Amino acid sequence: MQVVVVTGMSGSGKSSAMDVLEDIGYYCIDNLPPQLMGRFIEICRESENRLERIAIAADLRSGEMFANAYRCLHRLERQQDLDVKILYIDAEDEVLVKRYKETRRKHPLDEKFSGNLHQAIAFEREQLVQIKGIADYYIETSYQSASQLKEQIREIFLENKTDSMSIKVTSFGFKYGVSTESDLVFDVRCLPNPYYVKELRSHTGCEACVQDYVMSFEQSQQLMQKLTDLLDFLIPLYIHEGKSRLVISFGCTGGKHRSITFAERIGDHLTAKGMRVIKQHRDIEKDRP
């Protein structure tokens, strides 16, 4: 039986993650106290229509019953007939504050801290630190849209039975913040910038005109060759060590031209080598004319 435990900071996107898991065939239950997880799984085993894939959302909304969550999750992971994966969803403190203010929803710990949202978030983060440390998957949603989060969830859990590793190749703009979910980050701001070419400014690295410009320079071609050589060396090592997912990110100033060019070219290179690749351009729509 496959069991996904979805946890993390309130307001980070756990509800969206559960919606996707339900859509792709998981039986989902929200806000289940950790002490009841084992009993719930036993009920699912005993049901007439045996459930093979379950997703459980667990967070501080269960109050004092969440105190032993770390121990309860360890107990589940030790059961040999269960494939337990912990998905931890996170976001920066100020992003969480902004989301709560925009939606005008109350934080689960609002009454405990007399409406002080910053104190509630700090306490919640402290309570979750142990669980974050044992999570199998970590997604940071500060700079992601809801659709991007859902795409990631599908990419992880729709294909997690295959032997090969899934690779996400993404681009971002440093001026909007570094991609914190990344395993490997490459800064391509050292290359000539198409932004300063008037005819290319409104285009993106998804288009041939921008890619042709970026790759017309010898240093770009050399960097591309060195990166492909490095990744061709590293990826088999990651697979051998059992890593199921790798996030490779390319950053430039605005996330529109150079980073997208390299993400597209590297993504195509890895796809041609038989890897399962998803490409995502985080900041491609920001500040478009």
Question: 85-112: per-residue pLDDT in tens?
Answer: 889 999 999 999 999 988 888 888 888 8
Tell me, yes or no, whether 121 and 176 share the same domain.
Answer: no
Tell me, yes or no, whether 133 and 8 share the same domain.
Answer: yes
| Structural domains of the chain, count | 2
Of 138, 157, 176, the one marking the end of a domain is 157
The pLDDT, as a whole number, for residue 242 is 59
For residue 162, pLDDT beyond 60: no
Residue 193 lies in a domain: yes
Of 130, 157, 184, the one marking the end of a domain is 157
Which structural domain range is residue 192 located in? Answer: 166-281
Structure confidence at residue 160 as a pLDDT band (50, 70, 90):
very low
Residues 143 and 137: their CA atoms lie apart, in Å, by: 18
φ, ψ of residue 187 to 5 degrees: the values are -95, 115
Structure confidence at residue 192 as a pLDDT band (50, 70, 90):
very high
Tell me, yes or no, whether 151 and 18 share the same domain.
Answer: yes
List, in sequence order, the alpha helices (H) in the chain. Answer: 14-23, 37-46, 69-77, 93-103, 117-133, 146-157, 208-214, 218-240, 258-272
Residue 88 lies in a domain: yes
Residue 200 lies in a domain: yes
User: pLDDT above 70 covers what percent of the chain?
Assistant: 94
Is the overall model pTM greater than 0.85, yes or no? Answer: no
64-68 contact pairs (CB < 8 A, 24+):
65/33, 65/34, 65/35, 66/33, 66/34, 66/127, 68/34, 68/35
Residue 289 lies in a domain: no
The pLDDT, as a whole number, for residue 288 is 63
Residue 286 lies in a domain: no
The predicted-structure confidence for 180-190, as pLDDT tens digits, reads as follows 889 999 999 99
The predicted-structure confidence for 7-47, as pLDDT tens digits, reads as follows 999 999 999 999 888 887 889 998 888 888 888 888 887 77
Of 89, 124, 157, the one marking the end of a domain is 157
Residue 287 lies in a domain: no
